[in-house]
Chain A
């Protein structure tokens, strides 16, 4: 079973920030938080990952709470092409192994 919980769906207006929450209350000290998205049955696309510090790349920002029990993925200026299912996954880093996908959050960006 997935070790994360996410809202089933969310809406966001085009051009606004999309904030996608994720709870991972049982995360262990050496597990990272990964975010992927899947656009309409395409292959999942890596977005970002982090351990405890906030992270930012060209796609998104990842905010992890101090106790690491939850995190938020931020798409700063959502576009229609960001409509997808977003998956929050906790996994060990640098040790290989499977990713356990939950149901994810279906984000709909609307004009």
Chain B
């Protein structure tokens, strides 16, 4: 059973460009979480999604950031008009449906560098 997959693993963007980060959850997992880790800081929750629904976006910046988890395909974290402060590691985690363990399993992350 493959783990959580994220791509790209490294992404370089210039200020003002758009960044798209993809996350494929583990097989059988319908819950996806995005976290951000700024340089030398801890992990911060951003958003929690189920298929086609945003459940909790309390950690998402109000502007330029959006997330989706469509019925088919991976979850996408989209950052518009990136700025240098967006440079960070972005981790995705997934968990199975509620009738089994609620443990979140993390992917390897996407490291975004904004020039």
Give the interface of A toward B (CB within 8 A).
34, 36, 38, 41-46, 49, 93-104
- A9 to B: closest C-beta gap in Å: 14
- A100 to B: closest C-beta gap in Å: 7
CB distance B102 to A98 under 8 Å? no
Q: Which residues of B contact A41 (CB under 8 A)?
A: 37, 89, 109
**Could you tell me the distance between the alpha carbons of A93 and B108 in the complex, rounded to whole angstroms?**
24
- The number of inter-chain residue pairs (CB within 8 angstroms) is 58
Q: B98 at interface (Cβ–Cβ under 8 A)? A: yes
Give the interface of B toward A (CB within 8 A).
4, 31, 33, 35, 37, 42-45, 48, 55-56, 58-59, 89, 91, 93, 95, 98, 102-109
CB distance A104 to B42 under 8 Å? yes
- The one of B59, B103, B106 that contacts A98, using a Cβ cutoff of 8 Å: B59
- B4 to A: closest C-beta gap in Å: 7
**Could you tell me the distance between the alpha carbons of A41 and B107 in the complex, rounded to whole angstroms?**
11
CB distance B91 to A96 under 8 Å? no
